Amino acid sequence: MATQKSVIDKSGLWGIDMGGTKIEGIILKSAKEPEVLFRDRVPTEADKGYPHILGQVEKVVNMMKKAAGFIPAQIGFATPGILDPKLGLMKNCNSVAMNGQPMKADLEKLLGLKIEIANDADCFALAETRHGVVKEQFPDARVVFGIIMGTGVGGGIVVDGRAIVGLQGIAGEWGHNFLDESGGPCYCGKSGCVEKVISGPALEKYYFNETGNKKPLKDIVALAESKVDPTAQKTMIRLVEFFGKGVSVIINILDPDVIVIGGGVGNIDLLYDRGLDSLRKYVFNNRLDTPIVRPLLGDSAGVFGAAFLVG
C-alpha cells in the first residue's frame, strides 16, 4: 500500500466525508492524478452529539497527518447538509446534531486550517465529473448535474470542474421543488416536493396506501418487473411519469451536458428507458439529447468529491 509518508507531498488533495454513520478521510496524490494514497474511517456516533462529531473528525485528521507527516493548508468536507454562506451555520442536515452549528468555523479553529464545505450531492456530482462516469464517457462535458434519488432527493451542479454552491447554499436542491400535491406535506414545511413523490420512502408509502402492505422498494420493483402485481406496476408507472416531470425542470433551466443519477431509486432500470420517454414528453424540446447515466464511484463519491473541493 502506498501510504508511506514519502509519497504524500504538498500537491495531495485531502478530503473528508461526514456521513451519518462514518467519517471517512482520503488523500489523493494530486488533482491531475487522483490516485488514493490514504483512506480510512471512524464511526460518526452522531447520537453522542455535536462536540463528539468534531472530535471524531479530529481523530481522522490526526490519522491522515500521521500518514503524511504534515498537515495541509486546506481540507475539503462533504456534509449531509448545507453550510449557510451568510450565517455560517449548518442547515438541512439529516444528522440533526449538526444543524444550527457554526461547523466550518469550529473545524477551522480545532484543526488549524482552512476548510471548504459542500453537501454530499454537490460532492457526488463533482466526483463523478472529475473521476467517474463523466470523465470516462463525456470528457468534454462542461455542465454536469448530479442527482441523488434514494431516501431523499438531492442534486448538485458542476461547471468546468467546480461545484456551484449558490448564493444561499441551495444550488441544485431540486428535491424540494414542487412536483405534485399528492406527495403531501414535507419536513421542509412545503407540500408536494419532488422528494415526497419519487424518493424510496415516498414510493413505498404510495404502495402501502394502495394495498395496505408494507414492502421495501426493491420488492416492489421486483413484483412490477415480474408483472404479477398491478399495484407494483402502477407504483413504477407513477415513478416514471413524475421522474420525467421533475427532471424536465432541471433540463429546461440548466440544459446540462450530462446528468448522472445515483442513489437506490436511481438504480431502477426502468428510468433509463421508459423514464427517458417520460422526460422527452415534458422537456421543452422536440427531442432529448441529454445523456442520463449511472455513476461509477458508488459509495466513494462523497469522499472523492470532498477532496476535489480543494484542487
List contacts with Zn ion (CB under 5 A): 176, 186, 188, 190, 193
Nearest to Zn ion of 188, 228 (CB atom): 188
Reduce the DSSP state of residue 41 to 3 states and report it: strand
Q: Which three cell numbers stand for residue 51?
A: 462536540
Nearest distance, CB of residue 96 and Zn ion, angstroms: 16
Nearest to Zn ion of 126, 186 (CB atom): 186
Residue 44, C-beta contacts closer than 8 angstroms, at least 6 positions apart: 18, 19, 20, 21, 22, 23, 53, 56, 95
Nearest distance, CB of residue 190 and Zn ion, angstroms: 5
- Residue written as grid cell 474511517: 41
Nearest distance, CB of residue 181 and Zn ion, angstroms: 13
Nearest to Zn ion of 28, 186 (CB atom): 186
Q: Which three cell numbers stand for residue 159?
A: 461547471
Report how far residue 250's alpha carbon sits from residue 148's, in angstroms, rounded to the nearest whole number.
Answer: 13
Nearest distance, CB of residue 287 and Zn ion, angstroms: 31
Nearest to Zn ion of 13, 186 (CB atom): 186
Nearest distance, CB of residue 194 and Zn ion, angstroms: 8
Our measurement of the distance from residue 138's CA atom to the centroid of its chain's CA atoms, rounded to an integer in Å, reads: 20
- Torsion, Cα of 102, 165, 298, 293 (10° steps): 160
Nearest to Zn ion of 193, 224 (CB atom): 193
Nearest distance, CB of residue 185 and Zn ion, angstroms: 9
Nearest distance, CB of residue 66 and Zn ion, angstroms: 42
CA separation (Å) from 196 to 178, 199, 216?
9, 6, 16
Tell me the CA end-to-end span of the chain in Å, nearest whole number: 23
E strand intervals along the chain = 13-18, 22-28, 36-43, 74-79, 82-83, 90-91, 114-119, 143-149, 153-159, 162-164, 258-262, 292-293
Nearest to Zn ion of 118, 186 (CB atom): 186
Nearest to Zn ion of 190, 218 (CB atom): 190
